[in-house]
Structure 1
Amino acid sequence: MAYLLILSLLSLCVFWSPVKAYQGDGRVDKMEDRFRTMERKLYQYMEELDRLKTMERKLNQYMDEHGHLLQQNRDLQRQVSETEKRNDELTIKIIPATGGPTEQVAFYAYMSTNTPPNLRQHHTLIYDVVKVNRGQGYHQDDGIFTVPSSGVYVFAWTVAIQTHGWASVEIVVNGVVFGSTFADGTASDWEHGSGIVVVETHTGDHVYVRMQENGNGVVNSNARGRTSFSGWKLF
C-alpha cells in the first residue's frame, strides 16, 4: 500500500509540473527536488523491504530446519526408550532368577542299606545317601527336611519290603500326618509302596517320613530297590 501511494504521489507531481510552470522556475525546482527526495526514499524503502523479505525467508528456513531437528530428536528419544524397554524385557526373560535357598529348593536321598527288623511305631526313617540337596534343607543325620523358604512343595517317598514282611509309613509336617502308604511283601518277592503329597509350608517347618505302626521284617534298600525320600519347591 505504501508503495502504491508513493507512486501515485510521484505521478501526480509529474502531471502537475508542466501546468504549474507558469508560476516560475523556482517552484518547479522545488517540486523536482521533492520528487528526487521521494524517489530516493522509495528506493530505500524497496531495498529495506527486500532485506526484510530475505530475512523472513532465512527465518522460515531456520524454523523449518529447527523443527525438523526437533522432530528427529523426539523420534530418537522414542526409539531409545523403546529399545531400553525391550532390553529390560529380554533381560528379565534371559537372566534366570539368582538367589540362595529361598529361590531353588530340591532334594533327593535314599537309605544306603536295610534297616534293623521290626521298626517300632513313629520311628523316623533316615535316608543317609544324599544325591541332591538344593537349598540345604534336608539333614541326613536325622532324616528331617527343614523348609528353607515358604511355598508350595511336592514330597515323594518309596519304601521297599522283603518277602513275608510289611510296613506302613506316613509323611509328617510339623507333627501333622499328610499322607501314608503300605507295602506287603509276598511269599516269593519284594513289595514297594510309594506316595506323593503337595503341601503348603512355611519357613522352618519340619517334614519327615516315619513308621505309621510297628513293622514286620526289615525295610530294604539296595541295588535291587531303594527306600527313598525326595521333595522340591513348586512356587
Structure 2
Amino acid sequence: MESPTTGDLALSNHTRDTRAVGPPPAGPIAFYYYLHDPNRRPSHDYTIRFDHKITDVGGPNYDTGSGDFTCPKAGLYVFSWSIGEVDHGHIYTELEKNGETMAWAITGDTTYATSTSNTAILHLDSGDKVRVKISYTGNYPTLWEKFSSFSGFLLV
C-alpha cells in the first residue's frame, strides 16, 4: 500500500462504519411510531414493536420488525415513549441503548386505564441501537393501542 503522502492512494477521514454504509445524513433525523393494535398479555423481556409510522425523517431508522432505532449519525438525541395500559394491569418499561437500561417508566392501575410517558436525552454513536422493552408485567395487562408510542430526534 502506498503512503498517504504519495497521493496515489488517498486516505479517507471516514470511520469504518461510514465507509460501510456511506456518509451520515446531512439533514434532520426524527421518527414517531405508535402501536396500531392492542397487545394482550405481553411477556417480560419483550421489545415493543411500534408498528404504525407517523414520521420517519432522514431514515427509515426505526425498524418495526425488531423495535430498534438504529442511529445513523452520532450526536445528542431526545427519545420519548408513552405506554398505555387498558386491562387494569401493570407494565414496567425501559429505554435501552445497546442492551443497557437508560431510563424507566411504570404504568398501571387496578381500577382505571392508565398511560405514562418518559423522556431521555442520550448521546449516541453511529450504529447504536435504542429500543423500548417491557421488563415486568402484573395482572395480565394489555398494551393500549394508539396510547403507546415511541419517538426520537437528533438534537445536535
| TM-score for both structures, normalised by structure 1 | 0.53
Deviation string 1:16-57 (CA, Å, 9 cap, x unpaired) is: xxxxxxxxxxxxxxxxxxxxxxxxxxxxxxxxxxxxxxxxxx
Distance in 2, matches of 1:177 and 1:218, equals: 23
Matched, 1:181 2:73: no
Superposed displacement of residue 111, structure 1 = 0.5
Matched, 1:234 2:128: no
Aligned to 2:121: 198
Q: Which runs of 5+ in 2 are unaligned?
A: 1-22
Superposed displacement of residue 208, structure 1 = 0.3
2:136 is paired with a residue whose SS is: coil
Q: Which has the higher helix share?
A: 1
Does structure 2 retain, via aligned residues, the 8 Å contact 1:116–1:218?
yes
Aligned to 2:11: none
Superposed displacement of residue 234, structure 1 = 0.4
Aligned to 1:134: 57
2:82 is paired with a residue whose SS is: strand
Aligned to 1:37: none
> What's the RMSD between the two structures over aligned residues?
1.6
Q: 2:32 aligned to 78, 85, 108, which one?
A: 108
Kindly report which structure 2 residues correspond to 1:144-183, keeping only aligned pairs within 5 A, or say none: 144-183=68-107
Percent same amino acid at aligned positions? 27
Q: Which runs of 5+ in 1 are unaligned?
A: 1-98
Q: Which has the higher strand share?
A: 2
Q: Mark the CA change 1:144 to 1:102 in structure 2 (over 3 Å): closer, same or farther.
A: farther
Structure with greater Cα Rg: 1
Superposed displacement of residue 100, structure 1 = 6.7
Which ranges of 4 or more aligned residues in structure 1 deviate by more than 2 Å?
A: 99-103
Superposed displacement of residue 160, structure 1 = 0.4
Q: Which amino acid aligns with 1:103?
A: G
Distance in 2, matches of 1:102 and 1:228, equals: 26
| TM-score for both structures, normalised by structure 2 | 0.79
Q: Which has the higher contact order (CA 8 A, sep 6+)?
A: 2
Does structure 1 retain, via aligned residues, the 8 Å contact 2:28–2:58?
yes
Q: Mark the CA change 1:147 to 1:102 in structure 2 (over 3 Å): closer, same or farther.
A: farther
Deviation string 1:156-177 (CA, Å, 9 cap, x unpaired) is: 0000011421100000000110
Does structure 2 retain, via aligned residues, the 8 Å contact 1:163–1:191?
no
Q: Mark the CA change 1:202 to 1:209 in structure 2 (over 3 Å): closer, same or farther.
A: same
